[in-house]
């Protein structure tokens, strides 16, 4: 009997009129948990009933506590006929099950009915008393914390990252059971909502068990998805990254703020997390809570003095025998590291890498759902790895043994793993999985970024000393290290142009880098980033079963190839050389496939400048030369415009500005490179881009012309707007307090039956572009502003329908400060410029006044210099011309692809510059924040808590002081009076608003005031206008948090260092 | 190819004040798009007509969903469906309850019934206010009327608290309720020159001086600010002595004339019409016990007092001078005992006439 659940029904308000005669309602409430039900008294003739019930007590297993939701039904009492249901509230009590989170759920919840929507509100108080259960064979996993956030949550420190956890549960879909024929739509919807709630609970509990088994205490980057397989069932699956997290004590909390105040930051912070100023607050959380100069040697005792609660990385239960994997892998990578002098720093590092390898290879899947990492975690990035597989669904016969689905995913993951290995990487980061289902065909997709990680993090208790560790074993500067190729130069997995890193000149980097992760905070970029999308439609014949699946899998490689080409072209058109947050979705419909690739393009200064795009006719006389040259001109103009727009001034440009102490603001690029290596590249300024590295597009038929036109269609965002699909916007960090999260859905009906691929592409592209234009227009009052985390989801709900769902957040930033920063930076740069490159770590450390780091870096610097040919290496540009054909061949060979890429960042000098400049910036920032504080106070006056929502892991100017648990809600809404509710748009508009309202209410009831890492996982819309009916399913998730304004926190910190958590808690709860 | 569905929902509800006004004014979506295009909003963000249409539709839908809440504005503050910052809530309410003076002038004093509602299309045609907007305004009047009808306590305060309106707007609504309740005649041709604001001022005077609530001792009575004080109306009959008693009438006239002599160009006219004017005003007072005559209060003021003065070309200053002395002189009459009632009556009549005496 490990738990007692108590619930009290206080009151209702705004209830609907249920009795037409009296215009009133006789309401009472049923409270149900498991199989136990309690009822309140009837509160006669009131639309605002006061029940003030006794405490209803449920004595239950904690297993049930995790699986079951508390179900509250509000009914209208009717003496003569059956009682009418007004609506229900499901309360997930999981957040009450771990001690650090919420202690009580109390507040107003919207009463929701699947047919009528929200009908009034009810005030409920829920508490849980947990008894300790020492049973080792327990089935529950109470106490494991879940986070949707794909980075280490603020106010926590990761002492150990255990790795990948996954689970799936299957069931029959109630909608497809025989009983559905005789029950009401309401009953059917409620059965479905309840089942999914139960399955999510069960799934979470099972994942929790795996985490406990691995010795962790939390799941970060928890991603749960539903597959509505129709007749064949319902699958709920989840993946995540198991971690051991330590809560930072409130006393050390100010430390988390160091990125805002570099003057108080420990030296290591100044070096390693270049103060992106709130953009990446996450990383800073991993700093040691004790300030003072951290040393590699001092830090170790720190970790051992607080021994990790669990033994290091126990293998996960599902692990296959690892010995053969080890055997097959270790030699290969060993060879790789030996063979490529360009990337290995020295024997020490090789050794460490092998250690990592073993640590990682012990795991069946060395995958991480995280997209951003503590500094030093990520050593090298290989590129995107992805795998897709087309499956035919069949009925799930035994829900308790979901082997088929498990096997499918296992297969895909193995493939991903082998791709990563081919890239010379031992891990996959930014990993995610998705499905697209149409009738009985299902496309399973998985993608991630192959990477090499710092082995320290795989072992116990070292994450907090990452910075010093990192220095010790990896000589690559953090600003470019991750761009250095991890694979063997002589044995490259795909054709790529390698050059020496433009930053450190010591190691090889590819010409372009694609990744699924966020831009590392320490990366050096030039100018701003921007959203880049590739969109594609492919018609396919209608078919059944096997034939259909074959047709689809034959189309897939071509789609991948075309999407990739589009991305590459668009990237070059914007004069950028790296993609972050790449997400490729392929959606299947009855007669077409839709592909949408979104990513954030950026110019990494460690990578070579992208070449232009050159247009060529198939044969000289093929098309009029005039035509070709006009297209060429347009392309060159576009590139020039984009360079200006995104303020991309590659290092060669900055070089000119170096002499003058305060260059013009548009020379703002963060790339302050001192040396003169690339004077030959100055010719790039004329935008002819030379012939040496231009990307050649051949115009051999009208299709190709169309393709080029479509390339140029993408309109740049209007002045004052930027957009990206990642957590942080490259080039913008000075956020002000304006935040507007939104969801937009658009469905297009294709009326013309004889559409061509080209026509479809155009329609699809216009759809996406028009959506973006709408956003810009609607949010114009927020200018200057950036649309962050633009997440597009496409679907083909029926034949001839295309649905695009977008969730994103618009955030305001301070334009002035950007300029201020730019003006400052070159000054810092100037002082550093004179220094010899090989010496820079030393100088840097002197600057940051950490003698220990100094030694460490000196060692590494020496080690490296022995190993590497000096930076004199000439930059070798080759032609990209043949890449396309090679790619096509590669793709023909394999249905699944390995995508590549690599990135570069500015190096450490730069991060220093960052931290210095952010110091100077901090006073204006505070002004911005006090504004937000004031506004939140005025909100406090109203009776409803203002709940902010964002798909990002942070809120600008606001510090998260407590995570209250995950929000994971599933709703169905149905109507049989579609016209009366304002048609499909009216119906969906109110449903989405209702979902937001319910999420906010639940967060407020937990005592929270914000949702971070919010996402709408599913938005399935079905309509039947002829019958005046529509149905929609929505699944949302996020992390409920309490946060306080930075300025608030500072004042409380100055008065009393302790107890501020408590103070903040009440602050947020009111 | 057509857009089947198109929605945009923000966590904080996005509302454009310009579109809100167009919606309130009863523009259709297409008309609103035209107006916005002409307003040049397209240049702001490189928007196209489609973008504008989509945005307008979204906002119209939002407003329609909010409308239910605006019917009881207190709900807007504690509803959960829309997250709207408080200052926006205030704007939404204030604008929703705002009305066109030309429209309200048409229905002022009419019974807020279904019958009147049927005439709204005529009023719409006459005033140029769209029918949709007329309906909203009319329903607002009716709603406020219905709610305050059942409430105790001061009218303006009730309206302000219940509908969260600004003081100015609450006073205007109080006037509308007061007029509708007492069914004052305002539609006659002779009254056409008066604006709503003239009447609203007069209503304010009547409410604060002549109603049950004005006396102060009954603090929490139903309809205290809506119904005229019956006792007071009864007492007004006593004022008749000023015209029935020949001595008093003469005495009053001579006092007023002495005071006025030489101070105005129209003195001769004042002297000759004194008795007529005095009879006019006092007869109005004496008849106020009849509901029918209460309704004609304003038309009577115009016919019995304002028109004669106007035809004698009195200026507003003349009027002020005359009424001041007319009122004050009565105090000097020894045999006139009804000073309190006299002041209460003349105070209101005086300020009403001042307000109404214009072209």
Tell me the CA distances in angstroms from A1062 to A147, A249, A333, A1059, one per residue in order: 22, 12, 50, 5
- Find residue A246's DSSP bridge partners: A157
Residue B96 counted as domain residue: no
Query: Residue A1070 and residue A937: Cα distance in Å, rounded?
Result: 10
- CA A796 from centre of chain: 24
Residues B247 and B345 in one domain: yes
Rounded mean pLDDT of A711-723? Answer: 80
My answer on whether B64 and B114 are in the same domain is no
| Segment A301-321, tens digit of pLDDT | 333 333 333 333 333 333 333
Q: What local confidence, expressed as pLDDT, does residue A527 receive? A: 85
Q: How far apart are CA A242 and CA A310, in angstroms?
A: 13
* Residue A293 pLDDT greater than 70, yes or no: no
Is residue B348 a part of any domain in this protein? yes
SS3 B257: helix
The pLDDT value given to residue A857: 35
- What is the side-by-side order of every strand in the sheet holding A218-228? A145-146, A218-228, A234-247, A156-171
Q: Please report the residues numbered 61 through 90 in chain B whose beta carbons come closer than 8 angstroms to any beta carbon of chain A.
A: 61-62, 64-65, 75, 77-83, 85-87, 89
Q: Evaluate whether residue B4 is within a structural domain.
A: no
Q: How confident is the model at residue A886, as a pLDDT?
A: 38
Residue B39 touches chain A, beta carbons under 8 Å: no
**What pLDDT, on the 0 to 100 scale, is given for residue B138?**
94
Indicate yes or no: CB of A946 within 8 angstroms of CB of B64. no
Residue A861 is predicted with a pLDDT of 34
Give Cα B161 distance to the centre of its chain: 19
B222-232 residue pLDDT tens: 667 778 888 88
Which contacts qualify for A838-845: CB closer than 8 Å, 24 or more apart? Answer: A838/A865, A840/A477, A840/A907, A840/A908, A840/A909, A841/A471, A841/A477, A841/A908, A843/A909, A844/A271, A844/A908, A844/A909, A844/A912, A845/A267, A845/A271
Is residue B92 situated within a structural domain?
Answer: no
Residue A801 forms contact with B (CB below 8 Å): yes
Q: Between residues A929 and B126, which one has the greater pLDDT? A: B126
Kindly state the average pLDDT of the residues A920-929.
34
pLDDT digits (tens, 9 = 90+) for A723-775: 999 988 888 888 888 899 999 999 999 876 677 888 888 889 989 999 999 99
Please, which pLDDT band fits residue A10 given cuts at 50, 70 and 90? very high
Cβ(A817)–Cβ(A731) under 8 Å? no
Burial class (CB in 10 A: 0-12, 13-18, 19+), B18: middle
Q: How close, in Å, is residue B115 to chain A by CA atoms? A: 24
Q: SS3 for A830? A: helix
Residue A619 has pLDDT above 60, yes or no: no
- For residue B350, give Cα distances in angstroms to A391, B171, B342: 90, 20, 11
The per-residue pLDDT for A574 is: 87
Domain assignment of residue B171, yes or no: yes
Q: Report which secondary-structure segment, H or E, holds B311.
A: helix B307-311
A300: helix, strand or coil: helix
pLDDT band at A402 (very low <50, low <70, confident <90, very high): low
The answer for residues whose C-beta is within 8 angstroms of residue B146's C-beta and 6 or more apart is none
Give one DSSP letter per residue of A138-205, joined into a string.
Answer: -S--TT-EE---SSPPTTEEEEEEEEEEEEEEEE--GGGSGGGGTS-HHHHHHHHHHHHHHHHHHHHH
> Rounded to an integer, what distance in angstroms lies between the CA atom of residue B277 and that of residue B266?
14
- Residue A938, chain B, CB below 8 Å: the answer is yes
**How many domains are contained in chain B?**
3
What's the pLDDT at A87?
Answer: 94
A989/B7 touch (CB, cutoff 8 Å), yes or no:
yes
Where in the sequence is the domain holding B318, given as residue range(s)? 230-356
Is residue B2 domain-resident? Answer: no
Inform me whether the pLDDT recorded for A849 exceeds 60. no
Task: In whole angstroms, give the CA distance from residue A90 to residue A969.
Answer: 9
pLDDT of res. A139: 62
Domain end (from B59, B85, B111): B85
Tell me the nearest-neighbour CA distance from A993 into chain B, angstroms. Answer: 6
Query: Minimum mean pLDDT among A210-224, A679-693, B327-341: which range?
Result: A679-693
Residue B11 maps to a domain: no
pLDDT tens for each residue of A788-840: 999 999 999 888 899 999 999 999 988 765 444 443 333 333 333 333 332 23
Q: What is the pLDDT of residue A622?
A: 52
Tell me, yes or no, whether B182 and B105 share the same domain.
yes
Q: Which residues of chain B have pLDDT under 50?
A: none
Q: Are residues B116 and B143 in the same domain?
A: yes
Q: Who among B5, B13, B89 is closest to A988 (CB)?
A: B5
Which among A746, A770, A939 is the nearest to B86, CB-wise?
Answer: A939
Could you tell me the pLDDT band of residue A359, with boundaries at 50, 70 and 90? low
* Cross-chain Cβ contact B45/A780 below 8 Å: yes
Question: How many alpha carbons fall within 13 Å on the CB side of residue B33?
Answer: 15
pLDDT given for residue A74 in this prediction: 95
Q: Are residues B53 and B163 in the same domain?
A: no
Cα–Cα distance, B274 to A123 (Å, whole number): 70
Boundary (domain end) residue, out of B210, B244, B274: B210
pLDDT above 70 for A1030 = yes
pTM here?
Answer: 0.79
- Which has the closest alpha carbon to A520: A600, A425, A460, A462? A600
Which chain A residues contact residue B1 at CB under 8 A? Answer: 748-752, 763
pLDDT reading at A493 higher than 50: yes
B327 and B267, same domain (yes or no): yes
Q: CB–CB of A138/A957 below 8 Å? A: no
B349 located within any domain: yes
Give pLDDT, residue A702: 61
Contact B50/A at CB under 8 A: yes
Domain check: are B59 and B168 in the same one? no
* Contact check, Cβ <8 Å, A777/B64: no
Do B72 and B136 share a domain, yes or no?
Answer: no
> Each residue of A438-478: pLDDT tens digit?
888 999 999 999 988 877 666 544 444 333 443 344 455 66
Cross-chain Cβ contact B14/A740 below 8 Å: yes
Residues of A in contact with B13 (CB under 8 A): 993
Burial of B238 (0-12, 13-18, 19+ CB in 10 A): middle
pLDDT attached to residue A881: 33
Check whether A418 has a pLDDT greater than 70.
Answer: yes
Convert the pLDDT of each residue in A945-1002 to its tens digit. 899 999 999 998 888 988 998 999 999 999 999 998 889 999 999 999 999 999 999 9
- Pick from A46-60, A925-939, B68-82: least confident: A925-939
What was the pLDDT predicted at B131? 93
Q: What's residue A805's pLDDT?
A: 95
- Pair B176, B146 in one domain: yes
Domain match, B190 and B247 both: no
Contacts of A776 in chain B (CB under 8 A): 45-47
pLDDT at A174: 83
Residue in B closest to A110 by C-alpha? B80
Q: Within this chain, do residues B333 and B242 fall inside the same structural domain, yes or no? A: yes
The 3-state secondary structure of A521-563, one letter per residue: CCCCEEEEEEEEEEEEEEECCCCCHHHHHHHHHHHHHHHHHHH
Chain A residue with the nearest C-alpha to that of B49 = A774
- Measure CA of the first residue to CA of the last residue in chain B; give whole Å: 61
pLDDT over 70, % of chain A: 63
Instruction: Give the pLDDT score at A455.
Output: 73
User: Both B235 and B335 in a single domain?
Assistant: yes
- pLDDT at residue A357 tops 70: no
Q: Which of B210, B240, B263 is the C-terminal boundary of a domain?
A: B210
């Amino acid at each position: 009997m490990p738990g007692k659940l108590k619930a009290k029904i206080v009151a209702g308000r705004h209830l609907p009129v249920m009795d037409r005669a009296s215009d009133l309602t006789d309401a009472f409430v049923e409270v149900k948990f498991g199989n136990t039900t309690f009822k309140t008294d009837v509160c006669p003739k009131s639309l605002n009933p006061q029940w003030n019930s006794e405490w209803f007590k449920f004595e239950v297993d904690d297993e049930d506590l995790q699986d079951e939701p508390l179900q509250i039904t509000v009914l209208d009492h009717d003496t003569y006929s059956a009682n009418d249901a007004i609506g229900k509230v499901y309360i997930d009590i999981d957040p009450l099950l771990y001690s650090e989170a919420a202690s009580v759920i109390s507040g107003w919840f919207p009463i929701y009915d699947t047919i009528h929507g929200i009908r009034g509100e009810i005030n409920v108080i829920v508490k849980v008393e947990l008894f300790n259960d020492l049973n080792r064979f327990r089935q529950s996993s109470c106490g494991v914390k879940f986070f949707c956030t794909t980075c280490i949550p603020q106010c926590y420190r990761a002492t150990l990252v255990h790795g990948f956890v996954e689970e799936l549960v299957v069931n029959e879909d109630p909608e497809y059971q025989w009983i559905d024929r005789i029950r009401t739509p309401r009953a059917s919807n409620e059965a479905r909502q309840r089942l999914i709630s139960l399955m999510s609970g069960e799934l979470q509990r099972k994942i929790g068990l795996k985490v406990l088994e691995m010795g962790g205490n939390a799941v970060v980057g928890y991603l749960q998805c539903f597959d509505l397989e129709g007749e064949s069932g319902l699958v709920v699956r989840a993946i995540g990254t198991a971690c051991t997290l330590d809560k930072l004590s409130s006393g050390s909390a100010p430390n988390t703020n160091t990125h805002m105040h570099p003057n108080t930051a420990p030296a290591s912070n100044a070096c390693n997390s270049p103060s992106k100023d709130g953009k990446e607050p996450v990383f800073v959380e991993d700093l040691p809570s004790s300030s003072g100069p951290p040393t590699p040697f001092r830090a170790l005792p720190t970790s051992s003095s607080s021994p990790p609660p669990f033994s290091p990385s126990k293998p996960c239960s599902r692990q296959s025998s690892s010995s053969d994997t080890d055997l097959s892998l270790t030699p290969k990578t060993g060879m790789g590291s030996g063979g490529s002098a360009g990337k290995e720093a020295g024997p020490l590092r090789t050794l460490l890498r092998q250690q990592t390898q073993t640590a990682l290879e012990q795991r069946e899947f060395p995958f991480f759902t995280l997209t951003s990492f503590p500094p030093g975690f990520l050593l090298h990035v290989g590129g995107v790895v992805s795998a897709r597989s087309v499956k035919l669904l069949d009925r799930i016969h035994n829900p308790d043994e979901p082997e088929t689905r498990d096997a499918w995913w296992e297969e895909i993951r193995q493939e991903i793993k082998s791709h990563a290995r081919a890239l010379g990487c031992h891990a996959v980061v930014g990993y995610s999985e998705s499905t697209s289902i149409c009738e009985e065909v299902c496309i399973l997709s998985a993608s991630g970024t192959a990477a090499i990680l710092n082995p320290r993090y795989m072992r116990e208790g070292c994450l907090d000393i990452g910075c010093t560790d990192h220095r010790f074993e990896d000589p690559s500067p953090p600003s470019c290290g991750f761009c250095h190729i991890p694979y063997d130069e002589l044995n490259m997995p795909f054709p790529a142009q390698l050059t020496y890193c433009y930053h450190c000149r010591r190691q090889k980097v590819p010409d372009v880098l694609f990744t699924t992760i966020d831009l590392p905070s320490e990366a050096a970029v030039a100018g701003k980033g921007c959203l880049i999308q590739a969109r594609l439609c492919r018609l396919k014949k209608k078919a059944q079963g096997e034939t259909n699946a074959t047709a689809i899998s034959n189309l897939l490689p071509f789609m991948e190839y075309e999407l990739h080409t589009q991305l590459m072209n668009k990237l070059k058109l914007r004069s950028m050389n790296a993609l972050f947050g790449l997400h490729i979705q392929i959606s299947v419909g009855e007669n077409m496939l839709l592909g949408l690739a979104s990513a954030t393009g950026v110019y990494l200064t460690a990578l070579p400048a992208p070449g232009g795009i050159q247009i060529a006719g198939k044969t000289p006389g093929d098309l009029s030369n005039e035509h070709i040259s006009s297209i060429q001109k347009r392309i060159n103009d576009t590139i020039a415009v984009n360079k200006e727009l995104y303020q991309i001034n590659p290092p060669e440009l900055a070089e000119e500005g170096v002499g003058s102490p305060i260059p013009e603001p548009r020379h703002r690029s963060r790339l302050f490179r001192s040396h003169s290596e690339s004077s030959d590249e100055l010719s790039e300024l004329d935008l002819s881009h030379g012939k040496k590295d231009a990307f050649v597009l051949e115009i051999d038929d009208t299709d190709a012309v169309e393709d080029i036109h479509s390339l140029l269609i993408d309109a740049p965002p209007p002045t004052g707007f930027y957009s990206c699909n990642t957590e942080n916007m490259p080039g913008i960090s000075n956020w002000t307090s304006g935040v507007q999260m939104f969801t937009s859905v658009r469905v297009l009906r294709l009326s013309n039956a004889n559409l061509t691929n080209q026509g479809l592409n155009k329609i699809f592209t216009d759809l996406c572009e028009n959506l973006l234009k709408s956003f810009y227009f609607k949010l114009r009052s927020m200018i200057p502003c950036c649309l962050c985390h633009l997440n597009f989801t496409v679907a083909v709900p029926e034949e001839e329908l295309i649905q695009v769902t977008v969730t994103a957040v618009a955030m305001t930033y301070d334009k002035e400060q950007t300029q201020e920063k730019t003006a400052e930076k070159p000054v810092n740069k100037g002082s550093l410029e004179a220094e010899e490159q090989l010496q820079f770590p030393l100088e840097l450390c002197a600057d940051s006044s950490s003698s220990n780091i100094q030694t460490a870096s000196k060692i590494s610097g020496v080690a490296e210099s022995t190993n590497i040919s000096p930076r004199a290496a000439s930059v070798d540009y080759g032609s990209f011309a043949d890449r396309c054909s090679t790619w096509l061949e590669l793709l023909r060979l394999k249905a699944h692809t390995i995508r590549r890429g690599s990135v570069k960042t500015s190096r450490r000098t730069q991060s220093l510059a960052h931290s210095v400049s952010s110091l100077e910036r901090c006073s204006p920032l505070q002004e911005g924040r006090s504004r937000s504080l004031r506004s939140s106070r005025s909100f406090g006056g109203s009776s409803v808590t203002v709940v902010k929502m964002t798909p990002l892991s942070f809120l600008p100017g606001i510090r998260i002081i407590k995570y209250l648990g995950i929000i994971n809600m599933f709703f169905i809404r149905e109507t049989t009076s579609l016209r009366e509710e304002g048609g499909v748009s009216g119906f969906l508009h109110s449903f989405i608003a209702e979902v937001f309202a319910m999420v906010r209410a639940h967060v407020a009831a937990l005592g929270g005031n914000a949702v971070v890492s919010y996402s709408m996982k599913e938005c399935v819309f079905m309509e039947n206008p002829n019958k005046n009916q529509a149905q929609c399913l929505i699944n949302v998730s996020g992390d409920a948090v309490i946060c306080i304004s930075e300025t608030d926190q500072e004042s409380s910190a100055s008065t009393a260092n302790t107890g501020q958590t408590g103070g903040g808690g009440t602050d947020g709860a009111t | 190819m057509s857009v089947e569905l198109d929605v945009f929902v923000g966590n904080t509800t996005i509302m454009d004040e310009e579109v809100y006004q167009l919606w309130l004014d009863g523009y259709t979506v297409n008309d609103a798009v035209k107006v916005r295009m002409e307003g040049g909003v397209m240049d702001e963000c490189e928007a196209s007509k489609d973008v504008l249409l989509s945005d307008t539709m979204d906002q119209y839908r939002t407003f329609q969903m909010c409308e239910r809440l605006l019917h009881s504005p207190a709900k807007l503050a504690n509803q959960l469906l829309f997250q709207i910052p408080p200052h926006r809530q205030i704007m939404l309410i204030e604008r929703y309850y705002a009305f066109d003076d030309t429209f309200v002038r048409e229905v002022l004093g009419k019974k807020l019934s279904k019958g009147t509602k049927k005439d709204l299309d005529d009023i719409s045609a006459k005033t140029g206010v769209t029918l949709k907007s007329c309906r909203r305004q009319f329903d607002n009047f009716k709603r406020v009327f219905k709610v305050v009808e059942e409430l105790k306590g001061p009218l303006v305060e009730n309206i302000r608290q219940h509908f969260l309106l600004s003081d100015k707007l609450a006073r205007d609504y109080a006037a509308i309720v007061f007029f509708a309740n007492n069914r004052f005649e305002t539609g006659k041709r002779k009254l056409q020159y008066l604006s709503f604001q003239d009447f609203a001022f007069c209503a304010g005077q009547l409410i604060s001086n002549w109603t049950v609530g004005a006396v102060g001792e009954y603090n929490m009575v139903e309809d205290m600010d809506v119904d005229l004080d019956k006792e007071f109306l009864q007492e007004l009959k006593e004022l008749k002595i000023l015209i029935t008693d020949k001595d008093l009438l003469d005495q009053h006239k001579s006092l007023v004339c002495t005071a006025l002599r030489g101070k105005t160009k129209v003195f001769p006219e004042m002297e000759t019409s004194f008795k007529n004017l005095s009879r006019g005003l006092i007869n109005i007072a004496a008849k106020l016990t009849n509901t029918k005559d209460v309704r004609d209060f304003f038309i009577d003021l115009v016919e019995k007092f304002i028109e004669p003065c106007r035809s004698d070309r009195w200026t507003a200053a003349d009027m002020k001078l005359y009424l001041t002395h007319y009122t004050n002189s009565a105090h000097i009459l020894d045999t006139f005992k009804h000073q309190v009632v006299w002041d209460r009556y003349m105070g209101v009549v005086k300020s009403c006439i001042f307000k109404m005496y214009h072209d």
